[in-house]
Amino acid sequence: MDRRNFFAGLAGLSTLAWTGAPLRAKGTMNVAMDNMSGMAKMPAMNGMDAPAQRLAATDAIPIGGVLQPPRVLQNEISGTGKFKATLVAAPARVSLVPGQTTEIWSYNGSFPGPLIELTAGDEVEINLHNRLPQATTIHWHGLPVPADQDGNPSDAVPAGGSRVYRFTLPTDISGLYWYHPHPHKQSAEQVYRGLAGPILVRTKDDPLAALPERVLAITDLRLTADGAIPANDTMDWMNGREGQFVLVNGQHRPKLVFDANGQERWRILNATNARYLRLQLPGHSLALVGTDGGPLERAQIGLREILVAPAQRVDVVVYATGQRSMSPSPLLAAPYNRGKMGGAAEDAPVQLLDVLFSTTRAPSPPTLPPVLRSWPQWPAAAVQKRVVMSESMSMAKGQQGMQFLLNGKSFDMARVDLISEMGVTEEWTIVNDSDMDHPFHIHGTQFLVVEREIGGQIRKETFRALYDTVNLKSQETVRIKIVQTMKGIRMFHCHLLEHEDLGMMGRLNVI
């Protein structure tokens, strides 16, 4: 049986008589018939026969408003070197579709969460009040914060509870990061209901500080016809959820009026649960100047497109082409085939925003410094580790569904999966032995991609950049160099949040 048809038929599966014949899908998928240990229970499985809810039309949220910058989280302390603030996670009502209100979950009523603006070296103290109906945590995605301040699933703040997160940023850090919940099995829901926000860390020696800059926080939203955010269905748990709306700073396809001097710096966060953003601005080339971990060593200019996997960030310089035009240029998320099960192989293109270039002043060639960051030589790896991502299907009655595994195991909050020594450079070989893409993410530090291998073909990385999240295509192997700098338990997982919740996550003990 073909894998795609198998999943297409899953929605009505509970009405089928299961013959018991072993079922082997194409590729490397294993069918777990008897071995049910570690089977992550899919909350959606119980409601498999529930009729699909009618969704809001794709034009229900009005388009064309002028792009607004994200709301900024106010620092309660004046002066420099310290940042103190409060985040209240709570249900809120917002108006997205005219004539309707939508209940979202938000930080401080803001959708998406407010922008946290920090400076390298800052002492940070953030108070969380959890007014959600379930436990939550705040994870500071990408920031090197102490393990017990990093919102691990084991450090949940119960409904009605509060806690303070404290950490001090290194003096040499910069870039776009983000914060989001990380509770056991409920991260996906909390993020798709609205809990995620950007963090911008600045340094005093930013070589691009003179450029006009925007933060674009991209989120994904599904709404029913009556304006509600529905729960995940079976296919969402398998593929990761994608809604019918992709929002930029909470706005549907807004208008961006481009800077009159002809160049802008866009800092883009993919805060969606599972949507791949293959960014294109037809007629314009893009310069990649930074990734998850801040500036690249050298800018990559003349790019036609940039793939931003879920949880990744990019720092991009965009130029007016020199053609004054009254018609807007759409920033697209072009179709990207990530091997989704069941439905269409490729998503439809999404118009994220409309860019209005109103100038003919185009700096050409781009006025970027040749070196954006000096790059220290990384020591040779002293230790090797291997992480294999896999999928397996279960047909056992009442538990039909997928398992997503790391090294053959489903997440266990009481288990240590790997041990690393603080300060030791390691090479991790990450293998995607499954039929769909998975973005690999690790907490506590950032890594260098050494090379990628697919179909026996090895591609060395052509430029130096720091990441905390790297995408792996089906049957791809990625080798990274990584050093952990603080002791404690760190999570590593697939950042399709549904997969994370289903157990595609492990625990690294840094000693």
Q: Which does 222 bind (CB under 5 to 8 A by kind): ligand C2O, Cu ion, none?
A: none
Contacts to ligand C2O from residues 86-145, by CB under 6 A: 139, 141
Q: Which does 507 bind (CB under 5 to 8 A by kind): Cu ion, ligand C2O, none?
A: none
By CB under 5 A, name the binding residues for Cu ion. Answer: 141, 438, 443, 494, 496, 499
Instruction: Report the nearest approach of ligand C2O to the CB of residue 508 (Å).
Output: 12
Nearer to Cu ion, 193 or 499 (CB): 499
Nearer to ligand C2O, 340 or 493 (CB): 493
Q: Which does 499 bind (CB under 5 to 8 A by kind): Cu ion, ligand C2O, none?
A: Cu ion
Instruction: Report the nearest approach of ligand C2O to the CB of residue 101 (Å).
Output: 29
Nearer to Cu ion, 61 or 314 (CB): 314
Query: Is the distance from CB of 236 to CB of 189 less than 8 angstroms?
Result: no
Instruction: Report the nearest approach of Cu ion to the CB of residue 411 (Å).
Output: 12
Which of the stretches 58-66, 360-368, 410-418, 488-496 binds ligand C2O when contact is defined by CB under 6 A?
A: 488-496
Query: Is the distance from CB of 454 to CB of 477 less than 8 angstroms?
Result: yes
Instruction: Report the nearest approach of ligand C2O to the CB of residue 441 (Å).
Output: 5
Q: Please state whether beta strands 313-319 and 329-334 pair in parallel, antiparallel, or not at all (unpaired).
A: unpaired
Letter for the amino acid at 183? Answer: P
Instruction: Report the nearest approach of ligand C2O to the CB of residue 189 (Å).
Output: 15
Q: Which residues contact 80 (CB under 8 A, 6 or more apart)?
A: 119
User: Terminus-to-terminus CA distance in the chain, angstroms?
Assistant: 46
Token pair 């998406």 is found at: 112
Nearer to Cu ion, 138 or 221 (CB): 138
Nearer to ligand C2O, 292 or 433 (CB): 292
Q: Which does 496 bind (CB under 5 to 8 A by kind): ligand C2O, Cu ion, none?
A: Cu ion
What is the CB neighbour count within 10 angstroms for residue 229?
Answer: 18
Q: Which does 311 bind (CB under 5 to 8 A by kind): Cu ion, ligand C2O, none?
A: ligand C2O
Q: Which does 182 bind (CB under 5 to 8 A by kind): ligand C2O, Cu ion, none?
A: ligand C2O
Number of residue whose CB is nearest ligand C2O: 141
Instruction: Report the nearest approach of ligand C2O to the CB of residue 223 (Å).
Output: 24
Which backbone phi and psi does 275 adopt, to 5 degrees?
-95, 130
Instruction: Report the nearest approach of Cu ion to the CB of residue 270 (Å).
Output: 13
Compute the Cα dihedral for 438, 439, 445, 446 and give only its sign. positive
**HEC sequence for 366-431:** CCCCCCCCCCCCCCCCCEEEEEEEEEEEECCCCCCEEEEEECCECCCCCCCCEEECCCCCEEEEEE
Nearer to ligand C2O, 138 or 353 (CB): 138
Strand order in the sheet with 305-308: 255-257, 350-356, 329-334, 277-280, 305-308
Letter for the amino acid at 391? Answer: E
Nearer to ligand C2O, 112 or 262 (CB): 112
Nearer to ligand C2O, 316 or 491 (CB): 491
Instruction: Report the nearest approach of Cu ion to the CB of residue 26 (Å).
Output: 19
Nearer to Cu ion, 71 or 499 (CB): 499
Three-state SS at 358: coil
Q: Which residues contact 309 (CB under 8 A, 6 or more apart)?
A: 270, 276, 277, 437, 439, 469, 470, 471, 495
Q: Does 182 bind ligand C2O (CB under 6 A)?
A: yes
Nearer to Cu ion, 141 or 278 (CB): 141
Ranges assigned E (strand) in 26-147: 30-32, 82-94, 102-107, 116-119, 123-130, 139-141
Q: Which does 493 bind (CB under 5 to 8 A by kind): Cu ion, ligand C2O, none?
A: ligand C2O
Token pair 């039929």 is found at: 435
Nearer to ligand C2O, 60 or 188 (CB): 188
Residue closest to 185 by CA, chosen among 246, 137, 150: 137
Site string for ligand C2O, 424-443 (x = CB under 6 A): -----------------x-x
Assigned token pair, 236: 């969402």
One DSSP character per residue, 237-297 reads HHH----SEEEETTEES-EEE--TTSEEEEEEEE--SS--EEEE-TT--EEEEEETTEEEE
Site string for ligand C2O, 299-328 (x = CB under 6 A): ------------x-----------------
List residues binding ligand C2O (CB under 6 A). Answer: 139, 141, 180, 182, 311, 441, 443, 491, 493, 495
